[in-house]
Amino acid sequence: MLCVENLTKCYDAEKALDDVSLTLGAGRILGLIGENGAGKSTFTKCLTGAVKPTSGRIILEPGVSIGWIPQEFNLVEHLTAAENIFLGREKSRFGFLDRHAMRKEAKRRFARLRADIDPDRPVAELSPAEKQMVEFAKALDESYRLLLMDEPTTILNSDETARLFGIMREFKAAGGSILYISHKLAEVREICDEVAVLRDGKLVGIAPASELDPAEMARRMVGRELSRMFPAPLENPPGEAMLEVEHLASGEAVRDVSFSLRSGEILGLAGLAGAGRTETAEALMGLRRIDGGTVRVNGEMVRFRRPSEAVAAGLSYLPEDRQGSGILPGFSIGENITLVSLARYCCGGFLKRGEIRRAAEDYVREFRIKPARPEALLSELSGGNQQKVAMAKGLDTRPHIFIFDEPTRGVDVGARREIYEFIRELAGRGVACLLISSDMEEILGMCKTVMVMRGGKVAGFRTGAQLTQEELMYLAIGVKEA
C-alpha cells in the first residue's frame, strides 16, 4: 500500500526526519510512536503533501487515496459540520450543491460513530470532542484506502475510543491500511499489528505489537529506562485558601459548584465529558458569564468579566484546546510565551526585545522545548512542544493560582513526566493548582484530593483510602452520591 524510501526533511540546519524508510501492507495497522519532536507529525505531513520532503521517495499503490486525521483540528470554524465533512469533495446535482445529500450522508456517518451532532451546527459551536468526531466523519469517505491518524483518541473517553477501534478494525478487514500515531501506548499495542519507533527523526526499528509492552515501547522511544512517572507527593500540608467558590452557576453547563483551593495544593477535578469541568474553569477566568454564586481570591470577592482581570488577580489558565485558545501558531516561541505578560516587556511604548528573547531562552531551557530557538514559529513545533510553550506562557504571568485543563493531552511519556514535575514544583512554591483531567491514572498519581463533577454540579469529593478509580467513576456516572 505504501513504501517510504530514505525520507528526509530539514528545517534550516535541523533534521526533523533523517533517512526514514518503511513499508505498510494492505489490511494492516502500523503504529508510529516517539517522543514529542521525534518527527511523527512531520512524517504524516510529508505523506499528505502538506510539507515537501528535502529528499527521499514516497510510493503509493496506484489508485490509493489518503484520508488524514491531523493532530490539531483542520476545520473551518464558520462552516457547518456537514460542510466541513465534504469540503473539497462536495456533492452536486445539476451543477448545484446537493445540500440534502450531504446532510443525509453526514447524519449516516455520525450515526456510525454514535455521535449526536447536528450536521447543520457551525463547527465553532462544537466542543473539542465533537470537533474530533467531525474529523473522523471526514475520514469515513469510502474512497479512502489509507488512513493517517495522528493522536485521534486524545480527547475521547473509553467508550468513544472503543467505537473508533471497532471502525478501524472494519476498515482493516476490508483491505484498508492505517498509520496510527499515539502516545497512549496501551492503545497502540491493542490496535496495531506492528509498531515503528522514531527517535530524533530517525527510525529506531519496527517490531510486532504483540512483542512490545508499554514499558518497552517507552524505553525504545526515549533510549533509556524511565523511572516512576509521578513525582513524590508534597510532604508539607497545604496552606490558606487562595480560591473559594460557592454555588457557582454559569448557563446550563455549570449549575452548582462549590470548592476551596489552598496554597501548595494540587486539587484534582474529574468527571465525564460534558460534566462542566472546562466550563467551570472558563467561568473562573472570565471567559464565561457567571450567573450566580460567589468567587473569592485571597479572601476578596471577585467577578471577572474578562481574562485580563483574572490574570491581574494572579490566576493563570492552560486551556484544553491549546490551538483554539492557548497559542498562536503563526507567532514565534518568544512572542507566544510573553503574549499575556507583554506589558512587563514594554517601556515608553516600545518592546524590550532583548528581555523577551532572554525570557524565552530561559523557558526553552527549563521546558526543554524543541527546536531550541525562540524565533521558531509555533507551527513548526510538535504538539507536545506547543503544550510546553502554552505552559510557559501561563507561568510568565507569575500566577498564584494555576488552572490546568488536560495538561498532558497529546504529550509523550517523557514530556508528560516533565509536566508532572513542573506542576509538583509549582505547588511546592506555594502556587494553588487545579488539575482538570480525563486521565484517571493522572488524577490519582498527582492529587491527594479529587472533586468529581456530574451534570454541572459537584458529585462529591474523595481523599485518602476512598481515592480510587472505582470511587471516582461511581461518582461521575451517578452510582454513588457524595
222, 251, 271: which is the final residue of a domain? 222
If asked whether residues 348 and 440 sit together in one domain, one would say no
Model pLDDT, residue 35: 78
Rg (CA), the chain: 23
If asked whether residues 172 and 58 sit together in one domain, one would say yes
Q: Which pLDDT tens digit goes with each residue over 361-377?
A: 998 988 888 888 888 88
Q: What is the CATH number of the domain that holds 442?
A: 3.40.50.300
pLDDT class of 280 with cuts at 50, 70, 90: very high
The whole-number average pLDDT for the span 438-464 is: 91
Round to whole Å and give the CA distance between 85 and 284: 34
Residue 345 carries which DSSP code? G
If asked whether residues 248 and 102 sit together in one domain, one would say no
Model pLDDT, residue 153: 86
Average pLDDT over the chain reads: 89
181, 196, 222: which is the final residue of a domain? 222
Model pLDDT, residue 456: 92
Round to whole Å and give the CA distance between 282 and 279: 5
**Is 251 a domain residue?**
yes
Q: How many domains does the chain have?
A: 3
Cβ-based neighbour number of residue 81 at 10 Å: 28
Round to whole Å and give the CA distance between 146 and 296: 53
The whole-number average pLDDT for the span 462-481 is: 84
Q: Which pLDDT tens digit goes with each residue over 109-156?
A: 999 888 899 999 999 999 888 898 999 899 888 788 999 998 888 778
pLDDT class of 46 with cuts at 50, 70, 90: very high
From 200-204, 221-225, 296-300, the region with the lowest mean pLDDT: 221-225
Q: Full-prediction pTM beyond 0.75?
A: no
Task: Tell whether the model's pLDDT for residue 63 goes beyond 70.
Answer: yes
Model pLDDT, residue 470: 86
Range of the domain at 190: 2-222
In a 3-state reduction of DSSP, which class is residue 433? strand
**Is 322 a domain residue?**
no
Model pLDDT, residue 183: 82
The whole-number average pLDDT for the span 321-344 is: 82
Round to whole Å and give the CA distance between 313 and 451: 24
Q: Which pLDDT tens digit goes with each residue over 68-104?
A: 888 778 899 999 999 999 998 889 888 898 999 999 9
If asked whether residues 110 and 166 sit together in one domain, one would say yes
How many degrees, rounded to 5, is the angle at CA 130 between CA 138 and CA 27? Answer: 40
If asked whether residues 425 and 334 sit together in one domain, one would say no
Round to whole Å and give the CA distance between 232 and 10: 40
